[in-house]
Structure 1
Amino acid sequence: MADQTDDDEVFDFSNVEFTRDDLVIALNDMVKEYRKLSHSFEEAKAENMSIKSSYIDSNSDEFEDIDILKTELSKLQAENEMLKDETSELKAEIEALNQLVGSWNHSSRVLHKLNEYQKQASDKTGIGFNDSEFSEGETSTQSRPAYD
């Protein structure tokens, strides 16, 4: 298989311009690519088994066929190792993306909670505002009884 990193788009996850949707799309693309590679591996494996079985049924005395099968087998083993490496890389990227999305979700929950506790702009109670019972300019340091 040819190295495709030169042709494919590479995400820079440190770039703050990426949205959660961008990352989810990238994750989905990686999963699709993994499935496609896995499927091609299974096809090659089945083809290898077919070659082996047809070889055994026909001319088992021909050493040329054995060399061809060994060559094919070594190619498939090399491809298998490459797919295993790609799979582990994809798993690591998926884990990193899951952590990133998890931190975004946590931040979103914290921000939502902060917004719930924030006073409305029309709320004029508390420190820095006069109580409606007090007249303009009058201040008091003692608490007032609830009932007069």
Structure 2
Amino acid sequence: MADDTEKVFDFSNPEFTREDLVTTLNEMVLEYRKLSHSFKEVKAEKENCATSTELVGSNNMQDALNKLETENSELRSRSEEMLYENQRLAGIISSWTRSFASLHKLHGATKPSCDRTGLGYNSDEGSNRNKQHSRTEKDRV
């Protein structure tokens, strides 16, 4: 597009001279060089920004990766502690189970306090002695 300040050439006009065409061509080449240089600067700046963005993204990803590695090691450590605690508690529960079984066995082997049978006590002997003891006392009187 042409502004009002720019000179627009009408190539169909026969009044153009060779000098006008060469001058215009030279101006166009200079303008092309300026635009090409500007384009290269913008392109380099864009690549620099992209590289910076990639670096920032890379740094952010590296930080996130470091955080995840730290969290992973903490969770691994916590898991090992929980496994150790489970083993310890399993040992305690096993001990309690054995103690309960022993207590149950012992309780099954004991007699009630009112039971006078067995070692040192004979139910038939005890009743006979009492009868004999009471007869001897009656005989004396």
Distance 1:130-1:136 versus aligned 2 partners, 3 A rule: farther
Indicate the residue corresponding to 2:8 in structure 1.
none
Match of 1:84 among 76, 79, 94: 76
Q: CA deviation at 1:120?
A: 1.5
What CA distance in whole angstroms lies between the structure 2 residues aligned with 1:110 and 1:137?
Answer: 42
Match of 2:113 among 117, 121, 132: 121
Instruction: Give a deviation string over 1:119-139, Cα, whole Å, max 9, x none.
Output: 12221112332542432397x
Match status 1:96 vs 2:70: no
Q: Which runs of 4+ in 1 moved over 4 A?
A: none
Q: CA deviation at 1:95?
A: 0.9
Question: Which structure has the bigger radius of gyration?
Answer: 2
State the identity %: 30
Indicate the residue corresponding to 2:101 in structure 1.
109
Match of 1:136 among 96, 107, 130: 130
Match of 1:66 among 51, 55, 58: 58
Tell me the amino acid that sits aligned with residue 119 of structure 2.
I
What CA distance in whole angstroms lies between the structure 2 residues aligned with 1:87 and 1:72?
Answer: 22
Structure 1 residue runs without a partner (length 5+): 1-58, 139-148
Over aligned residue pairs, what C-alpha RMSD do you find? 2.2
Structure 2 residue runs without a partner (length 5+): 1-49, 133-141
- Describe the SS at the equivalent of 2:130: coil
What CA distance in whole angstroms lies between the structure 2 residues aligned with 1:121 and 1:90?
Answer: 47
Q: Return the structure number with greater helix share.
A: 2
What CA distance in whole angstroms lies between the structure 2 residues aligned with 1:130 and 1:62?
Answer: 99
Q: Of the two structures, which has the highest relative contact order with CA contacts closer than 8 Å and spacing of 6 or more?
A: 1
